[in-house]
């Protein structure tokens, strides 16, 4: 069952007028819908999938910050500082290495292919079943990840707005998903490159406002705040125990692998990058994103340290994902509550709209073969694409309701864990395709990917028994990928002989 909400303990007088919050929320969402409709005028299927390959690399890079961070970073990362300090930054430092590999190795390959789907490269190397399995793995991984991100923000909105107004979680989440569906179904990438920039700007403005006001409420200068946070152990960064799962080498390795898999091998992230006209601009987009992520996550961690200090001084017991919204909605000015709400929704939408568009693209091109076989008329493609888009909106909503009953104190750890098991075989397929041009049969692909997931889950579950004090963290993603690649080589060698 869901964790008890700290907001349930508050009287109605302790929260800002929920109706006012709802009006601000609906006003912002209507604004986004209007802008999306304006941007999607005369949009074609090609505009939906790759934005006509005319997107500005600066806009793409800036908008991808919001997609990469999402509501999970906005809520979970600040809430985790009281428990794990700044150690999450180790993973983000590893991201930089992963983004560099994406920029200078993977992106040139994708541009040479010139396809809508990045998994077309796998098809050119190891055959149709390789690309289809890659697409299926992406669909599973992105559906689970996007659903978990959506749920986290829906949960907060339910606590702050919809719950006090008497709306059930299922109804409020349905309303938001319908709106996301409406503003993404026509414009696709052409629309979300534009709206993601607006949402990212709003989210970052909200982040800065919240940090400044929380520090001001404690009458601390930046230097005094840093010294006090360090003395409390909140700024602890490096994991130094080589056997622990948070050792810095393990975390940086895991961070590089996560960025490589969840960005460079992810149709959602690469679809936006491929909407840029020139290869060099796409590479600049990726490296600018890498630099910006370091700065933005560091500011989120600073906010987390400030929130933990404020909670300690005020005797607030809320922890984890509930810490940030609880402090803002009960101890901060009403205008900051509105800023927080809009920033939270802005953190939600880039990951949701991009996921819907990319999932639709992957099914249409990799599984339904929009670029293979008989060419369908434009109108038929559009009808199929709209139906697939609707189906994924329903699927995401269903998983959000499932996560309602799997609630955890910090969803960011759950999401990264899910990614390690679902993106592992996808990375394994990419590695095999890079090292071999051996065509894969359906049974070989399914068996190798299935076994790698089962074995990595088994290793993770029994590691306390098998390895005593040694702990495997998120680097299980790399282990998963290597297992998958090993099985693929073993199966193809057996077939050749």
DSSP 228-275: HHHHTTTT------TTSTT-HHHHHHHHHHHHIIIIIT-HHHHHHHTT
What's the token pair of residue 28? 């912002």
- Alpha carbon separation from 18 to 161, 167, 342 (Å, rounded): 5, 12, 14
Domain 28-409 has CATH 3.40.50.300: no
344 versus 496: the higher-pLDDT residue is 344
pLDDT higher than threshold 80 for residue 494: no
According to the model, what pLDDT value does residue 48 have? 46
Identify any residues that bridge with 276 across adjacent strands, giving them in sequence order: 55
- Is residue 410 helix, strand or coil? coil
pLDDT confidence band for 368 (50 / 70 / 90): confident
Residue 460 has a CB neighbour count (10 Å cut-off) of 18
What Cα–Cα distance (Å) separates residue 321 from each residue in 122, 152, 304, 403?
39, 8, 11, 14
State percent of the chain over pLDDT 70. 81
Whether 195 and 36 have beta carbons less than 8 Å apart is answered as: yes
Rounded to 5°, the CA angle 29-30-36 comes to 90
Q: Give me the mean pLDDT over the 12-26 stretch.
A: 67
Amino acid 51: pLDDT: 45
- Assign 2 a pLDDT band (cuts: 50, 70, 90): very low
* Mean pLDDT value across residues 361-384: 68
- Tell me the β-bridge partners of 55: 276
Helix (H) or strand (E) holding 284: helix 279-314
Closest Cα to residue 184, out of 405, 9, 396, 390?
A: 390
Q: What pLDDT does 422 receive?
A: 85
Query: Residue 76 in contact with residue 320, Cβ under 8 Å?
Result: yes
Quick check: 8 pLDDT over 60?
Answer: no
Predicted pLDDT at 100:
93
Question: Which of 170-179, 299-308, 438-447, 467-476 has the weakest average pLDDT?
Answer: 467-476
Task: Provide the 8-state DSSP code for 333.
Answer: -
Placement of tokens 């939600």 in the chain: 348
pTM listed for this prediction: 0.77
Spatial contact of 133 and 449, defined as CB atoms under 8 Å apart: yes
- Residue 328's closest CA among 315, 342, 312, 340? 340
CA dist., res. 438 & res. 460, Å (int): 31
Q: Which residue has the tokens 């909140």?
A: 234
Place of tokens 């992406």: 138
The pLDDT of residue 429? 93
Alpha helices, H only, 40-187: 45-50, 57-84, 88-101, 107-113, 120-126, 128-157, 169-184
Q: State yes or no: pLDDT of 67 exceeds 80.
A: no
Two tokens at 192? 């979300």
pLDDT of res. 242: 81
The pLDDT of 364-370, averaged and rounded, is 70
Taking the C-alpha atoms of residue 465 and residue 346, their distance in angstroms, rounded to an integer, is 43
In this prediction, residue 446 carries a pLDDT of: 92
Query: Does residue 10 have a pLDDT over 80?
Result: no
Mean pLDDT of the chain: 79
Q: How many angstroms separate the Cα of 189 from the Cα of each of 36, 367, 387?
A: 11, 20, 17
Note the pLDDT of residue 99.
92
Query: 3-class DSSP state for residue 366?
Result: helix
196-252 tens-digit pLDDT = 777 778 888 888 988 999 999 888 888 899 999 898 888 888 878 888 777 888 889
CA distance to 46, 351, 435, 482, 487, per residue, from 440 (Å): 30, 33, 13, 17, 12
* Residue with more model confidence, 69 or 214: 214
- Is the torsion defined by CA of 397, 403, 405, 409 positive or negative? negative
pLDDT of residue 449: 93
Tell me what pLDDT residue 356 has.
Answer: 76
Q: Which is nearest to 485 in space by CA: 426, 415, 439, 442?
A: 426
Gap between the Cα atoms of 173 and 43, Å rounded: 28
Domain ranges across the chain: 28-409
Q: Which residue has the higher pLDDT, 380 or 287?
A: 287
Which residue reads 């987009």 in tokens?
285
Cα dihedral value 283, 286, 287, 289, nearest 10: 150
Q: What is the DSSP letter of 158?
A: I
Report the chain's terminal Cα–Cα distance, integer Å. 53
> If pLDDT is split at 50, 70 and 90, which confidence band does 265 have?
confident
Per-residue pLDDT tens over the stretch 303-345: 999 999 999 888 888 777 788 888 888 888 888 888 888 887 7
Query: What mean pLDDT do residues 27-37 have?
Result: 75
Nearest to 273 by CA among 126, 425, 67, 74: 67
Residue pLDDT, tens place only, 192-211: 666 677 777 888 888 898 89
Residue count (the chain): 497
Cα gap 20→24, rounded to integer Å: 6
State residue 85 phi and psi, 5-degree precision.
Answer: 65, -140
Identify the band that residue 41 occupies on the pLDDT scale cut at 50, 70 and 90.
low
Q: How confident is the model at residue 369 (pLDDT cuts 50, 70, 90)?
A: low
| Residue 18 burial (10 A CB sphere; 0-12, 13-18, 19+) | middle
Q: Which of 159, 199, 208 is nearest to 349 (CA)?
A: 199
What's the pLDDT at 289? 87
Q: According to the model, what pLDDT value does residue 404 have? A: 80
The mean pLDDT of 441-470, rounded to a whole number, is 88
Question: Residue 276: phi, psi to the nearest 5?
Answer: -85, 140
CA-based max dimension of the chain: 76
Dihedral of alpha carbons 43, 45, 49, 52, sign: negative
- Rounded to whole angstroms, the Cα distance separating 116 from 128 reads 15
pLDDT at position 119, please? 82
């Amino acid at each position: 069952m869901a964790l008890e909400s700290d907001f349930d303990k508050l009287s109605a007088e302790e929260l800002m007028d929920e109706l006012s919050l709802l009006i601000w929320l609906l006003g912002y969402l209507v604004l986004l819908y209007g802008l999306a409709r304006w941007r999607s005028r005369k949009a074609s299927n090609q505009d939906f999938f790759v934005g006509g390959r005319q997107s500005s690399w600066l806009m793409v890079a800036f908008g991808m910050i919001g997609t990469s961070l999402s509501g999970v970073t906005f809520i979970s990362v600040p809430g985790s500082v009281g428990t794990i300090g700044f150690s999450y930054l180790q993973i983000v430092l590893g991201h930089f290495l992963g983004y560099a590999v994406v920029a200078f190795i993977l992106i040139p390959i994708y541009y040479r292919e010139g396809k809508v789907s990045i998994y077309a490269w796998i098809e050119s190397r190891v055959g149709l079943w390789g690309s289809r399995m890659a697409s299926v793995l992406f669909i599973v991984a992105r559906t689970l990840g996007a659903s978990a991100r959506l749920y986290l923000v829906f949960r907060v909105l339910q606590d702050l707005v919809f719950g006090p107004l008497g709306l059930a979680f299922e109804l409020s989440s349905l309303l938001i998903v319908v709106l996301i569906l409406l503003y993404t179904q026509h414009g696709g990438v052409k629309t979300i490159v534009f709206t993601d920039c607006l949402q990212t700007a709003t989210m970052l403005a909200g982040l800065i406002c919240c940090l400044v006001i929380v520090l001001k409420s404690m009458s601390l200068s930046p230097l005094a705040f840093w010294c006090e946070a360090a003395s409390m152990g909140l700024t602890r960064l490096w994991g130094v125990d080589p056997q622990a799962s948070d050792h810095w080498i393990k975390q940086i390795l895991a961070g590089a692998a996560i960025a490589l898999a969840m960005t460079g091998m992810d149709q959602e992230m690469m679809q936006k990058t491929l909407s840029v006209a020139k290869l060099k601009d796409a590479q600049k987009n990726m490296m600018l994103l890498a630099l910006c992520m370091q700065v933005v996550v560091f500011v989120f961690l600073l906010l987390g340290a400030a929130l933990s200090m404020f909670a300690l001084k005020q005797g607030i017991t809320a922890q984890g994902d509930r810490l940030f919204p609880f402090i803002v909605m009960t101890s901060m000015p009403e205008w900051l509550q509105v800023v927080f709400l809009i920033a939270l929704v802005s953190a939600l939408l880039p990951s949701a709209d991009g996921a819907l568009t990319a999932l639709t693209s992957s099914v249409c091109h990799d599984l339904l073969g929009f670029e293979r076989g008989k060419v369908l008329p434009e109108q038929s493609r559009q009808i199929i694409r709209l139906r697939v888009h609707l189906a994924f909106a329903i699927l995401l909503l269903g998983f959000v309701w499932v996560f309602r009953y799997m609630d955890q104190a910090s969803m960011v750890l759950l999401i990264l864990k899910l990614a390690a098991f679902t993106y592992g075989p996808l990375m394994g397929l990419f590695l095999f395709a890079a090292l071999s041009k051996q065509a894969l049969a359906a049974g070989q692909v399914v068996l190798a990917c299935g076994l790698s997931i089962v074995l990595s889950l088994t290793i993770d579950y029994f590691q306390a028994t098998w390895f005593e004090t040694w702990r495997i963290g998120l680097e299980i993603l790399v282990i998963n990928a290597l297992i998958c690649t090993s099985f693929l080589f073993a199966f193809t060698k057996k077939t050749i002989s």
